[in-house]
Structure 1
Amino acid sequence: MNTHDYISGFLLGLSLIIAIGSQNAFVLKQGLKREHIFFVCLFCAVSDAVLISAGVGGFGAVTARYPQVVDIAKFAGVIFLLGYGLQSLYASMRVSHALTIDGQVVTSLKKALLLCFGFTWLNPHVYLDTLVLVGMVSTGASSKLTFAAGAVSASFFFFFALGYGARLLRPLFAKPKAWNILDGLVGILMLYLAWHLYQS
């Protein structure tokens, strides 16, 4: 295995997903709530793996030729982020917050994965990062397979570290007020991302 290609792929993959975004905020929140952490992290990581593999395999050329694919994801993403952002702001203003940190599951696995699907597959930046950018950079690697393995490893490492590492913040969220603040920040972030996505 070409160690240089693996490390290059790992660092590139990590740099593309480490920034705070809607998907990461959702994974963090699930980690704090202890709700379906494994499946949410696995869904995000596997989705990245599929997209990275497609990008390295040359699908980036397809999206470059048919940009309407990205445009469709863009407008769907704006609508999705607006809806979730407004919902989070509403939750932040509730007098009695429903979220707890005692392990009680308040969201079904199906709903969690559907939300995760929206944050992942309705984000056009995901396609630009994984299909186009990773695919383009991989052309300079001596082993595309090794490069892709590094990028995929970064996704698995990051999402599981974020999901399970969130428990370190649990003492901070022992009070319902902290959840209201988090919901408010998440709502503002989602609305900002929706606006930024619309402007891009």
Structure 2
Amino acid sequence: MLESYLTGLVVCGGIIVAIGAQNAYVLGLAVRREHHWWSAGLCMSTDLLLLSAGMFGMSAMLLAMPGALEVLRWLGVAFLGWLAAQALHRAATGRRGLDTAEAEGRSLTRVLLATLAVTVLNPQVYLDTLVLVPAVGAQQDSAAAFVAGAGTASILWFSLLAGGGALLSPWLARPTAWRLIDGGIGVMMAGIALQLAGGGLGEPV
């Protein structure tokens, strides 16, 4: 059982640690201290739900409906392109340092909806949580322990993003630092959107 738990921890951890659209979005919220723990909690919950569903057979249903992945792919391209344009605009025009007014600029509902969109509109998240991870989990002695390990990896990682980003926010609160952050996030979001548009699903989530 311990071996299954550790395998789930390592496999899932290796997949989610790579900085992708979802992780970059949560990190950006954390640095701005903008409902970041709520966003991280939603990411954790979504991971646990999809991982559990994958271990109980939803992966077969998803593979039987390739059209669903195609629709998600183009929705993801559009949404990631919009996020990239916003970030690059902020990088070009600059913004003030992090202050209370800016941190309260968006409602919790809006932040959670954006977090959910970044998560569910990326087909890679389904290939990872419903196909790749369960394929490894099916070979383990304890499926429950494997899912627990995978879920632990998600909880640890998003907690690190939310807590670490907020902790570093005083050093990243300068306008120049935010231009670099927004520029990096914008370029990365645009790159992932182009990768999805080209049909490639090998990028991290």
TM-score normalised by length of structure 1? 0.94
Residue of structure 1 equivalent to 2:111: 112
* 1:107 shift after superposition: 1.9
Residue of structure 2 equivalent to 1:68: 67
Mapped contact 1:48–1:130 kept (Cα < 8 A): yes
* 1:184 shift after superposition: 1.2
- 1:93 counterpart SS class: helix
Q: Residue type matched to 2:115 in 1?
A: C
Task: State the Cα RMSD in Å.
Answer: 1.4
Q: Residue type matched to 2:196 in 1?
A: L
The 5 Å alignment of 1:39-188 reads 39-95=38-94, 97-98=95-96, 100-101=98-99, 104-188=103-187
Gaps of 5+ in 1: none
Mapped contact 1:101–1:170 kept (Cα < 8 A): no
Q: Residue type matched to 2:141 in 1?
A: S
How far apart in 1 are the matches of 2:117 and 2:159?
A: 19
TM-score normalised by length of structure 2? 0.92
How far apart in 2 are the matches of 1:174 and 1:44?
A: 25
* 1:109 shift after superposition: 0.7
- 1:173 counterpart SS class: coil
How far apart in 1 are the matches of 2:62 and 2:97?
A: 40
Q: Residue type matched to 2:185 in 1?
A: V
* 1:71 shift after superposition: 1.3
Identity %: 35
Gaps of 5+ in 2: 201-205
Q: How many residues matched?
A: 198
Question: 4+ runs of 1 displaced by more than 2 Å?
Answer: 101-104, 167-172
What's the CA shift string for 1:81-109, capped at 9, x where partnerless? Answer: 011101111111224x1451558422211
